């Protein structure tokens, strides 16, 4: 249910812009969060204007919101997306009432569907080993770019080696430190403390946490920084960014996601897709290995322990499956 073609009147769009400014300036919400709020609120405002011909927020009633909700159900939009949109709308109307844009809050009685609690796909340790070994030969084929220069190899070959080395850093760090993909691409070189093997990470809500990484990640990071980053670096574009794109600018979320999506697909024996699969995997492996739940919560940067507890369900489900397969009287 999209209303992108409908031109939203200023009487609806301006309060949305003011609300987004409030979230940005006073609540410090991330750009990803702001984009999600903007999409959700513009979907509602487009529906109100194009379908119900309402052009003022103080004219909106609970019946209008329920009609919007029914349209999303008919369009077979996922329960998770619907729940997020309703949360965005309820927060907006609460702000609008507080700021006297509306007198009564029509969203108070709007009920969101329960979110789908699907257990995430988790990679086995053997699959992780294969994933992190991919492209290792290519990344190591020219261990030192200076050697390539001495042999007068084409510049394209040097760039290919550099991209392979960068992709290995992406996979290693996602698994080593359980980072969100947005956190990974936001890393700067000074965020790395090699003496302690830790990363300084700016997470959701602009909260900073320090997370560890292991020796394999240290090795690929060192190779990248000492040998390959300089191949892609651009004096005007790179700055302190740890991970660079082919043109020298900071690697973006889409590009990093494509790297992992391709790598997971190439495994051929997993339903796991996208970089969040590695975050799911490291959380589950830590808990399987006996890590404390609250330590894993801090490691992942979860605001709520309930979010981290999802991975205990994954561990229990894996145990149940193993029991069913192996126990004589299962």
Catalytic amino acids? 180, 204, 276, 279, 302, 311
Dihedral angle over CA of 194, 196, 197, 203, nearest 10? -110
Two structure tokens written together for 82 = 């619907």
Residue 209 makes CB contacts below 8 A (sequence gap 6+) with 201, 203, 298, 301
**Which pairs with CB-CB distance under 8 Å and at least 24 residues apart come from 128-132?**
128/175, 128/281, 130/267, 131/171, 131/175, 131/263, 131/264, 131/267, 132/168, 132/171, 132/172, 132/175, 132/216
| Spatial contact of 247 and 194, defined as CB atoms under 8 Å apart | no
Ordered alpha helix ranges (H), 125-199:
125-133, 136-140, 145-150, 155-177, 181-185
First vs last C-alpha separation in the chain: 47
């Amino acid at each position: 249910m999209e209303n992108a073609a409908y031109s939203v009147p200023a009487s609806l769009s301006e309060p949305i812009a003011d609300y987004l400014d409030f979230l940005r300036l006073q609540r410090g919400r991330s750009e990803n969060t702001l984009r999600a709020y903007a999409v959700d609120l513009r979907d509602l405002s487009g529906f109100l204007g194009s379908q119900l011909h309402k052009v003022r927020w103080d004219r909106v009633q609970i019946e209008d919101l329920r009609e919007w909700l029914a349209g999303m159900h008919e369009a077979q939009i996922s329960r998770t997306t619907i729940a997020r949109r309703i949360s965005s709308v309820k927060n907006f109307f609460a702000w609008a009432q507080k700021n006297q844009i509306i007198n009564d809050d029509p969203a108070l009685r709007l009920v969101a569907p329960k979110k789908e609690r699907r257990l995430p796909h988790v990679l086995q340790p053997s699959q992780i080993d294969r994933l992190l070994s991919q492209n290792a030969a290519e990344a190591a084929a020219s261990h030192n770019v200076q050697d390539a220069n001495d042999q007068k190899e084409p510049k394209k070959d040097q760039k290919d080696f550099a991209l392979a080395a960068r992709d290995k850093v992406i996979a290693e760090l996602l698994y080593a430190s359980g980072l969100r993909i947005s956190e990974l691409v936001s890393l700067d070189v000074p965020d790395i403390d090699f003496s302690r093997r830790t990363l300084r990470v700016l997470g959701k809500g602009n909260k900073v946490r320090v997370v560890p990484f292991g020796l394999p990640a240290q090795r690929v990071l060192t190779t990248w920084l000492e040998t390959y980053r300089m191949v892609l670096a651009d004096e005007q574009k790179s700055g302190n960014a740890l991970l660079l794109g082919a043109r020298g600018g900071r690697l973006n979320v889409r590009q990093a996601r494509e790297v992992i999506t391709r790598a997971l697909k190439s495994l051929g024996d997993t339903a796991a897709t996208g970089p969040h699969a590695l975050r799911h995997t490291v959380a589950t492996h830590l808990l399987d290995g006996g890590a404390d739940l609250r330590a894993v919560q801090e490691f992942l940067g979860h605001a709520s322990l309930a979010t981290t507890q999802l991975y205990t369900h994954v561990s229990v489900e894996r145990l149940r499956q193993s029991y069913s397969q192996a126990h004589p009287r299962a």
